[in-house]
Amino acid sequence: MAGTGSRGRAERRSAGELESEVLAALWATERPLTPAEIQHEIGGGLAYNTVHTILKRLYDKGLVLRDADGRRGAYRPAKNAAELTAQAMHEALDRGPDPIAALQQFVTGLSAEEERALRELLAGDGARGA
Amino acid sequence: MRYDVYSPLVLSLLLSAVGPVLARRAAPAVAARVLASAAVLTAAATAWSLLLLAAALIGDTPPVIRAAREHGRPLTDPVPGVIGLAAGLALVVVALRIHRAVRAQRSTRRALRRLTAGQPAGTELIVAASEVPRALAIPGRPGRILVTSAMLSALDPAERRVLLAHERAHLAHGHGALVTAVTLAAAADPLLGPVRSAVVFLVERWADERAAAVVGDRRVTARALARAALCASRARTPCALHFTDRAVTRRIAALRTSPPPSRWPAALAVLALGTLPALLAADATGDLLHLLPGLCG
């Protein structure tokens, strides 16, 4: 259902943006993904070869790993560097209220009542979208 | 001088009253830029006016009064000593607040630079393997997007595209600099606090609108916000729950209607309101120089 409105948009995404999307897709799923699965996941009419090239580039940067024991050709995200990043992030952001003030956070807090309203919204949206 | 010099204070209050109204009605890209510019101008004029009032104390000193008599121009002091003194004290407070704000900004920037330093070159997205759902834009050259693994796994593919487009909009439109500018303005002139809050909210709305345009679907954009907010609120410690300003709910509601019109006339009027204190402060400066014949010959 989602992403159907975005077919044919792939041409307008830059190589760097596609790299981010592939990396995000790998992190979002629990298991390793093959290029074909990634192609299906991010959609937007992306060519298989493009996905392959992007994965190669991410691999060269050490951001993804080839799945050694699993299915051939599957990739998974490199966890070690990301764990160090998480450590640094928590050190930087959790020190006090000040440092965070300058940042753009995607979302902030919710009250219990707001939470209920958003849950209803998602439920309604899902039903309509299905 | 008598009135001009106090006007920035009054106009700060006026801007703080009008700012949130413009923020609700106009396109976020227009309102954010106009309000930030007006706030910076007003804060600068306010600080300058305090400086003028404090400087008027010099007019009370015996050498200046003597010099004025010698020039055959007896001084009529328009600024009572008490007010001059109060302005001097306020100026010290303003200086301290700016100093503190600058230091906070610097420490943030340092911490973020450390975070991005170890990343491979030419990578836009930095993933942190953390259970805390979080996403933010790190300004710089090039700007980076920091997202935690918890946030990525909470969203479906289309929603992840919204998230990335939202953070990209922050970087592409210099939202970090805009927020820094208005934060420093509010540090210099605490009366501008509401304008700062409005701009902080507006840059989020601006990025939402850009993301909706890029993904081409306002409903998916609203859904991504709702999903991310719910996921973040589930992970939050109870004590942090007090901090809620209904910002996300308001942003989602805005995405469920059509994009707001620019309303340039109203925006320009607010910008003019922001320029006024600077003009009046300049006028007051002329008056003060005129008052100090002993110093200015």
B216 lies within 8 A of chain A by CB: yes
Closest CA of chain B from A74, distance in Å: 18
Residues of chain B positioned with their CB less than 8 A from the CB of A55: none
Residue B155 tokens read as 């969203």
Question: Which CA distances in Å does A18 have to B125, B136, B210?
Answer: 10, 18, 18
Backbone angles phi, psi at B135, to 5 degrees: -150, 130
Residue A9's pLDDT is 46
Helix axis angle, A112-129 to B218-235, nearest 10°: 140
- So what's the pLDDT on residue B77? 59
Please compute the mean of the pLDDT values over residues B94-122 and round it to a whole number: 87
Domain range annotation of chain A: 4-79
Distances (CA, A) of B116 to A84, B109, B145: 11, 11, 10
Q: Which residue of B has its CA nearest to A14?
A: B124
Ramachandran sector of residue A44 (left: φ over 0; alpha: ψ -120 to 50; beta: rest): left
Cβ contacts of residue B96 below 8 Å, gap of 6+?
A: none
> According to the model, what pLDDT value does residue B2 have?
58
pLDDT at B251: 92
A to B CB pairs, distance under 8 Å: 210
Q: Is A86 on the interface with B (CB under 8 A)?
A: yes
| B147 interfaces chain A, CB cutoff of 8 Å | yes
Q: In chain B, pLDDT over 90 holds for what percent of residues? A: 55
Check pLDDT > 80 for residue B58.
no
pLDDT of residue A70: 62
What is residue B205's predicted lDDT score, i.e. its pLDDT?
Answer: 95
State which residue of chain B sits closest to A24, comparing Cα positions: B152
pLDDT of residue A92: 77
pLDDT digits (tens, 9 = 90+) for B168-181: 999 999 999 999 99
B162 inside 8 A of chain A by CB: no
| Percent with pLDDT over 90 in chain A | 38
pLDDT value at B74 more than 70: no
- Tell me which of B75 and B211 has the higher pLDDT: B211
Q: What's the CA gap between A85 and B119, in Å, rounded?
A: 9
**A60-86 pLDDT tens trace:** 999 999 987 666 789 999 999 899 899
Residues in B closer than 8 angstroms to A111, CB to CB, are 241, 244, 246
Helix (H, G, I), strand (E, B) or coil at B138: strand
Distance set, CA B92 to CA A32, A33, A94, B85 (Å):
59, 60, 30, 11
Nearest CA-CA distance, residue B45 and chain A, Å: 24
Cβ neighbours of residue B119 closer than 8 Å, sequence gap 6 or more: A85, B126, B144
- A123 near B CB under 8 A: no
CB A40 within 8 A of CB A69: no
Q: Is the pLDDT of residue B197 over 80?
A: yes
- CA triple B47-B52-B58, angle to 5 deg: 140
Give the closest residue to A43 by CA, choosing from A51, A34, A54: A51
Angstroms from A36 CA to nearest CA on chain B = 15
> Where residue B233 falls among pLDDT bands split at 50, 70, 90?
confident
Residues of chain B above pLDDT 70, percent: 85
3-state DSSP assignment of residue B103: helix
Cβ atoms of B144 and B119 closer than 8 Å: yes
pLDDT of residue B60: 63
Lowest mean pLDDT among B77-81, B147-151, B180-184, B189-193: B77-81
Instruction: Say which range, B46-55, B95-104, B186-195, has the weakest mean pLDDT.
Output: B46-55
- How confident is the model over B211-234, as a mean pLDDT? 92
Q: Which residues pair with B137 in a beta bridge?
A: A104, B145
Q: Distance from B223 to chain A by nearest Cα, in Å? A: 6
Q: Give how far A72 is from chain B: nearest CA, Å.
A: 24
Least confident of B2-6, B48-52, B187-191, B249-253: B2-6
* pLDDT value at residue A129: 44
The answer to whether residue B244 scores a pLDDT higher than 60 is no
Q: What percent of chain A has pLDDT over 70?
A: 75
- Of A17, A79, A125, Cβ closest to residue B223: A125
In this model, does residue A10 exceed pLDDT 80? no
Whether residue B229 and residue A61 make contact (CB cut-off 8 A), yes or no, is no
Amino acid identity of residue B70, one-letter, is E
The fold adopted by the segment(s) A4-79 is: Arc Repressor Mutant, subunit A (1.10.10)
- Give the integer Cα–Cα distance in Å for B184 and B137: 20
Question: Would you call A20 and B145 a contact, using CB atoms and an 8 Å cutoff?
Answer: yes
Can you state the angle between helices B28-55 and B81-117, rounded to 10 degrees? 140
Mean pLDDT across chain B: 85
Q: Please give the pLDDT value at position B296.
A: 46
- pLDDT tens, position by position, A24-71: 999 999 889 999 999 998 877 789 999 999 999 999 999 999 987 666
B297 pLDDT exceeds 60?
Answer: no
